[in-house]
Structure 1
Amino acid sequence: MLVCVAGLGVLGVVVLDTHERVHDLGIHKALGMTPRQTVTMVVSSVVPPGLAGGALGVPLGPAVHGAVIPAMGHAAGLRLPRSVIDAYDAQGLVLLGLAGVAVAVLGSLPPAGWAARIRTTTALRAE
């Protein structure tokens, strides 16, 4: 559910960004930019924020988990086993970091396809 919400958030941001830059896309298309290059340009605009999100989320997520879960157990009068508290391994953390980029790329593909399909004259008239 969280991945779907994140993907829809990326989709919304990229749709707004693409609509704001539609005139610029028209100029690029008039100068010879191919649809594949247009898709690459739109998708590559979300990769740095996806990497930043993964780079921030991977260390912060386990740190918050390691602080909150024991506190919740203590508040309930339980002493949780180490297997509950240590839920993340190194391989899982790397995959979670890459998932930020994957969600960003997948959320940007529909607006990138729209940007690639828009006619040059329509994009140049838009302002």
Structure 2
Amino acid sequence: MVLTSVAGIGLVAGVIGVPIGIVIHVLVLPAMGDAAGTTIPAEDLAVYHLPVLIPLLLGGLVMATAGALLPVGWAARTRTATALRTE
């Protein structure tokens, strides 16, 4: 139950976080180049392709699941009533 809820949150975080990260990349990198007095080539800005995006999306899922392993172990060792009360 804990892993399922955390995996859902991790997937949603990846789906929301990756597009926000791409937008920030597209906005901040040219501004940094302008501040340095140089232009950044378009091929250096367009680095996100579908084969790269899939692992990034799944990264949120993996990190959330890894972070949930400690609470999952605790919930598995405690009595059912105690685990449900803390939920």
> What TM-score do you get using the length of structure 1 for normalisation?
0.60
Give the residue type in structure 2 aligned to 1:61: G
Question: How far, CA to CA, are the matches of 2:32 and 2:60 in structure 1?
Answer: 28
State which of 16, 28, 32 in structure 2 corresponds to 1:56. 16
Give the residue type in structure 2 aligned to 1:68: V
Q: Which of 1 and 2 has greater Rg? A: 1
Over 3 Å counting, the alpha-carbon distance change for 1:103 and 1:82 in structure 2 is same
The unaligned stretches of length 5 or more in structure 1 are 1-40
Consecutive aligned runs of 4 or more in structure 1 exceeding 2 Å deviation: 120-124
Q: 1:13-64: CA deviations, max 9, x gaps?
A: xxxxxxxxxxxxxxxxxxxxxxxxxxxx111111221111111112111111
Question: How far, CA to CA, are the matches of 1:64 and 1:121 in structure 2?
Answer: 44
Matches within 5 A, 1:1-127: 41-118=1-78, 120=79, 123=82
Question: How far, CA to CA, are the matches of 1:60 and 1:90 in structure 2?
Answer: 16
RMSD of Structure 2 on Structure 1 (CA): 2.2
Question: How far, CA to CA, are the matches of 2:12 and 2:70 in structure 1?
Answer: 22
> What TM-score do you get using the length of structure 2 for normalisation?
0.84
Give secondary structure in 2 for the equivalent of 1:78: coil
- CA displacement at 1:87 relative to structure 2: 2.2
Give the residue type in structure 2 aligned to 1:92: V
